[in-house]
Amino acid sequence: MAYFPTSSSAAGVVGELLMASLAQNTFLWRTSPIGTELETVVVSWLRQALGLPDAFDGLFTDTASIGSLIGLAAAREAAGLDAAKRGLPGRPEVGQPRVYASAEAHSSIDKACMILGLGRDALVHIPTDNEYRMRVDALEAAIAEDLAAGRRPIAIVATIGTTASTAADPIAEIASVARRHDLWLHVDAAYAGVVALLPERRAEFAGWEIADSIIVNPHKWLFTPFDASLFLGRRMAEVRAAFSLVPEYLRTLDRSAPVRDVSEYTPQLGRRFRALKLWVLLRWFGLAGLRRRIAHHVDQAQELASWVDADPDFERLAPVPFSVVCLRWRPAALADRATEPDVAAFLDARNQALLDAVNRTGEVLLSHARLGGRFAIRVAFGNLRTEERHQRRVWELLRREAAKIVS
């Protein structure tokens, strides 16, 4: 229940076994025709299951961090920087590129800026509202300020399911800002993207279908053993421009059939046959089976949230749109004084001690976050084997250890 759940399943393990047995390396079509072709098929199945239009194509990477790097590298090319060929140093005409993401965005976005030569300073962290979603007015103001100062906006990163509280940025509004300013829109839905498999939840994703690139991690909440991340892009030509480099020894001499060599779209050359693992997974669970389980995890989180809400000595520190609950112990007697500095410090210290005490039981492992300056205990659902008794037990332990801390 810490961080995000370890996402594994028997189907995923069988997939890994088959991958290792077949020992395919999918970097060129000719090194693994089946690996390349099956990747196209499985990416398309997932794309359709997520409700995204067929303008999106994609590929599997090891992690979301690499997927976001690919998205932002393509954004850099799309903005006309021609950095893949010419680099950035010593080119005053490049100006100061800018990327925008919320203050709650994942650190992999900062790292992508580091690796791409834009630097962490190029990433503008936009403040969030009191539910930890990007403030679109602040985004517009930041873009306007940068334009006025002669800087060069190139991309916006919207997050659906932030790491601390799992907030979803207002994607439709952000998409329209991106369109208006002709900026690349990258959607980091590494954790929560799988919720779009549920047709009844699609409305919350409206707007992501016009993104330029999207990341969803099967290894986070789709029962896939580490590693597999899905990159979806609407402008694969720009992705190719960012990464294609074909030395003689990788050249396919007989080009009579039009084929795709996936390594032209990624930083690395050698690639695992991850499509096989996802193929087994989809065939095993079926879409209905995956949907049922994801909906169940959302229900588990909602139920825990309702217990927290009903307890006068605990409080929830963020909405629960997906499968993570952020809570803290806050005795009723202190409710009105919780923001006084002494009381705030006291609550932080006690909740840190509470987290430690609960983890020391050895029965569960929870993690933490800081939300609005407050120490929050995070309880994450999403493991296939988490049953109602575990859900009840974690709540019992939190209350039991909280009672001990007070006395």
- Asked whether position 321 contacts ligand PLP by CB under 6 A, the answer is no
Nearer to ligand PLP, 108 or 165 (CB): 108
Locate the DSSP E strands across 113-219.
123-126, 152-159, 184-188, 213-216
Shortest reach from residue 160's CB to ligand PLP, in Å? 8
Cα separation, 173 vs 319, in Å, equals 20
Instruction: Please tell me whether residue 7 binds ligand PLP under the rule CB under 6 A.
Output: no
Binding mask 89-128 for ligand PLP (x = CB under 6 A): -----------------x-x--------------------
Stretch that binds ligand PLP, among 17-25, 43-51, 183-191, 364-372 (CB under 6 A): 183-191
Q: Is 36 or 159 the residue whose CB approaches ligand PLP more closely?
A: 159
The Cα 82–Cα 205 span in angstroms is 32
Q: Which is nearer to ligand PLP, 32 or 229 (CB)?
A: 229
CB of 158 to ligand PLP, least distance (A): 10
Cβ 406 to ligand PLP shortest distance, Å: 34
Tell which one of 9, 31, 36, 163 touches ligand PLP (CB under 6 A).
Answer: 163
- Closest contact distance (angstroms) between CB of 360 and ligand PLP is 26
DSSP helix/strand/coil, 371: strand
188 binds ligand PLP (CB under 6 A): yes
Cβ-contact 84, 114 below 8 angstroms: no
Nearer to ligand PLP by Cβ, of 32 and 383: the residue is 383
Whether the CB-CB separation of 46 and 230 falls below 8 Å is answered with: yes
217: contact with ligand PLP by CB under 6 A: yes
Nearer to ligand PLP, 243 or 395 (CB): 243
Beta bridge partners of 374: 371
The angle formed by the CA atoms of residues 236, 109 and 75, to the nearest 5 degrees, is 30
Count of CB atoms situated within 10 Å of the CB of 182: 10
Counting contacts by CB under 6 A, is residue 190 touching ligand PLP? yes
Residue with tokens 């929560």, as numbered in its chain: 192
Residue 29: what residue type? W
Report if residue 329 touches ligand PLP, rule: CB under 6 A.
no
Q: Which two tokens stand for residue 161?
A: 């399911």
The closest alpha carbon to 7, from 65, 63, 45, 47, belongs to: 63
> What is the closest distance, in whole angstroms, from the C-beta atom of residue 225 to ligand PLP in the complex?
13
Per CB under 6 A, which of residues 224..243 are in contact with ligand PLP? 229
Helices within 222-325 (DSSP H only): 236-243, 274-310
Tell me whether residue 9 or residue 108 sits nearer to ligand PLP (CB atom).
Answer: 108
Count of positions on this chain that bind ligand PLP (CB under 6 A): 14
Positive or negative, the CA dihedral 383, 388, 390, 393 is positive
Asked whether position 297 contacts ligand PLP by CB under 6 A, the answer is: no
According to the binding rule CB under 6 A, does residue 159 interact with ligand PLP? yes
CB-wise, 64 or 134, nearer to ligand PLP? Answer: 64
Tokens of 133: 């979603």
Whether residue 47 contacts residue 56, with contact meaning beta carbons closer than 8 Å, is answered with yes
| Binding pattern for the stretch 56-85 against ligand PLP, x by CB under 6 A and - elsewhere | -------xxx--------------------
Q: Counting contacts by CB under 6 A, is residue 382 touching ligand PLP?
A: no
CA distance linking residue 252 with residue 255, whole number of Å:
6
Q: How far is CA 183 from CA 98, 99, 267, in A?
A: 10, 9, 23
- Report d(CA 262, CA 43) in Å as an integer: 13
Interface positions with ligand PLP (CB under 6 A): 63-65, 106, 108, 159, 161, 163, 188, 190-191, 217, 220, 229
